[in-house]
Amino acid sequence: MSHVRVLVGTKKGAFILTADGKRQDWNITGPHFAGWEMYHLKGSPADPNRVYASQTSGWFGQVIQRSDDGGQTWNTPDGSVPPTPGEPAQGESNKFVYEGEVGKHLWYDGTPHPWEFKRIWHIEPSLTDPDTAYAGAEDAALFKTTDGGKTWKELPGLRQAKSRLWQPGAGGMAAHTILLDPRNDQRIYVAISAGGCFRTEDGGATWKPITRGLRSLYELPDPEAEVGHCVHRIALHPSRPDVLFMQKHWDIMRSDNAGEQWSEVSGDLPSDFGFPIDVHAHEPETLYVVPITSDSLHYPPEGKLRVYRSRTGGNEWEPLTRGLPQQNCYVNVLRDAMAVDSLEECGIYFGTTGGQVYCSADGGNSWDAIVRDLPAVYSVEVQTLK
């Protein structure tokens, strides 16, 4: 019988939640790396036992951890200690290697700012090779490993894609979303806050901004600028990798041509501001978002926690509330804190800054809290296991 493994990254450690296909009785382990900020954990689609984790601390800096037994035990792939915060590693702690000229960023007011390595926000394992993975960094940059995390080499072409006009969002200037095209291993999508959305067709050597149709009335001097848009999250369905969905800093957007043109599909949402967006595992036109009140009020409208579902690829949305608190709820759901499994009855999962992790085993119709009172949840990922 199939079962699921839910990987949860929090402000004070990582937790692993497992259940059988009914998704009713859960086993919880953790905290792994207690006290550390765990920005993201993700399992390899090519090996059910391989899991990568981004572990960071203001005291000890950034390190990538790896498990080869589904999270039961962990090791730093090169056996080293974490690097000093903010310093490019010189042969220690996963060996983050920088190529090309680092250069400087210029904010829109012309103020120079040096590029700085701070943390890894997102790890995206290869679809076919468990030893290959990509990592999105802050300040925004993209790294790749081909040896299971022992060494990481920057793909410098991304920072050459008009990065002088990127600027940090409220959470920092992060490459926070990486999508791999299952039909074309040379195509990768990356979203940056606040840089925009980018696509490569040559494995990361060169990148193209894909932002036509995006508008940022309050964030940019030119609201139709090619770069600088604050993209919160992008998603795709594996069966249709040319169709992209985006949760932007205001606006839900859709592209049917690999990002060449975007159109708004916010429709009748109570607010089109939020962070996560995801797609049903078996229904490419079924989307999920979690609206929050505004860019200054990071909690659900009216204090009611509602996931919204569209079965039409956007524009028409319905609130999903059964099992979710509908009064005095003031949590947020961050950009990497929603995921879906691939069981026959698709499960939807999300975690909150209040420490709850919710699961819907029926596509969003009803919800149960798997666990409560964790530290603030940064990320939720799911592995569907045979």
Q: What is the pLDDT of residue 305?
A: 98
* Span 296-308, pLDDT tens digits: 999 999 999 999 9
Whether 171 contacts 83, CB under 8 Å: no
- pLDDT (0 to 100) of residue 57: 82
CA distance linking residue 60 with residue 172, whole number of Å: 19
**CA dist 217 → 240, 251, 343 (Å):** 30, 11, 41
Q: What are the structure tokens assigned to 296, written together?
A: 């200054």
Confidence of residue 228 (pLDDT cuts 50, 70, 90): confident
Q: Choose between 59 and 84: higher pLDDT.
A: 59
Tokens read off for 158: 């991304």
Query: Token digits for 193?
Result: 């806050």
Q: Using one digit for the tens of pLDDT, what is the confidence trace for 332-341?
A: 999 999 999 9
What's the rounded Cα separation, in Å, for the pair 88 and 116?
9
Rounded mean pLDDT, 207-216: 94
Residue 313: left (phi > 0), alpha (psi -120 to 50), or beta?
left
Distance separating alpha carbons of residues 289 and 217, to the nearest angstrom? 22
CB-based contacts of 254, cutoff 8 Å, min separation 6: 243, 244, 245, 246, 262, 263, 264, 265, 313, 314
Length reported for the chain: 386
Write out pLDDT tens, residues 274-292: 999 999 999 999 999 999 9
Evaluate if residue 358 carries a pLDDT over 70: yes
Cα gap 114→53, rounded to integer Å: 27
C-beta separation of 209 from 173 below 8 A: no
Calculate mean pLDDT across residues 21-37. 93
Query: In this predicted model, what pLDDT tens digit does every residue of 77-101 receive, in sequence order?
Result: 866 544 433 444 343 456 676 554 4
* Residue 49 CA neighbour count, 13 Å, CB half: 5
Provide the sign of the torsion angle of the four alpha carbons 314, 274, 178, 3, taken in this order. Answer: negative
Q: Is the model's pLDDT at 194 over the cut of 60?
A: yes
For 330-368, the DSSP string reads -----TBSEEE--SSS--EEEE-TTS-EEEETTTTSS-E
Q: What's the pTM value of the predicted model, to 2 decimals?
A: 0.92
Q: Alpha-carbon distance 23 to 195, whole Å? A: 38
pLDDT bucket at 113, cuts 50 / 70 / 90: low
